[in-house]
Amino acid sequence: MVVDDDEDFANAAAKVLRDAGHDVRIQLDTETAMQAMEARRPDLVILDVMFPESSSAGFELARAIREGSDGLKNVPVLMLTAVNQKFPLGFSALDADDVWLPIDGFLEKPVDLDLLRSTVSSLLEAAASRCRAEG
């Protein structure tokens, strides 16, 4: 699932991932994204940070995913954002933690689409390995 209010970007990312064999759904806001995830668990979420409703809505959704139902809390979250361009705070994968920023990967926009494709594949492989180890 791609969750991004930039519909053009979301469609471009979805096309690249579909061409790589993935089934991709797009949600343009965090509220409907959470509802869609609860209705049908995604294998992975690609999540922007800034949305019209809040410049930190993506952070909040990442925490809601981790705190949500058992079915969602282990879904890998890849944060893909331009937040550092708008607010030069230097967010990176190093800021990931279990409470404040519970994500599995971090990429900055503009993103190289080959890097996006390979990162998604790596996160899905890691999630599948965890499932096999647990199960």
SS (H, E, C) 70-86: CCCCCCCEEEEECHHHH
Q: Is the dihedral of CA 30, 42, 82, 97 positive or negative?
A: positive
For the chain, percent of residues with pLDDT exceeding 70: 86
CA distances from 123 to 7, 98, 104 (A): 23, 17, 7
Identity of the amino acid at 22: H
Using alpha carbons only, what angle is made at residue 50 by residues 16 and 82, rounded to the nearest 5 degrees?
55
pTM metric for this prediction: 0.89
What span, in angstroms and rounded, lies between the C-alpha atoms of 104 and 36? 20
Q: Return the higher-pLDDT residue of 134 and 20.
A: 20
What are 26-74's pLDDT values in tens digits?
A: 999 999 999 999 999 999 999 999 899 898 899 999 999 998 777 898 8
Q: Which residues pair with 108 in a beta bridge?
A: 81
What span, in angstroms and rounded, lies between the C-alpha atoms of 97 and 111? 23
Q: Where do the domains of the chain lie, and which CATH numbers do they carry?
A: 2-134 (3.40.50.2300)
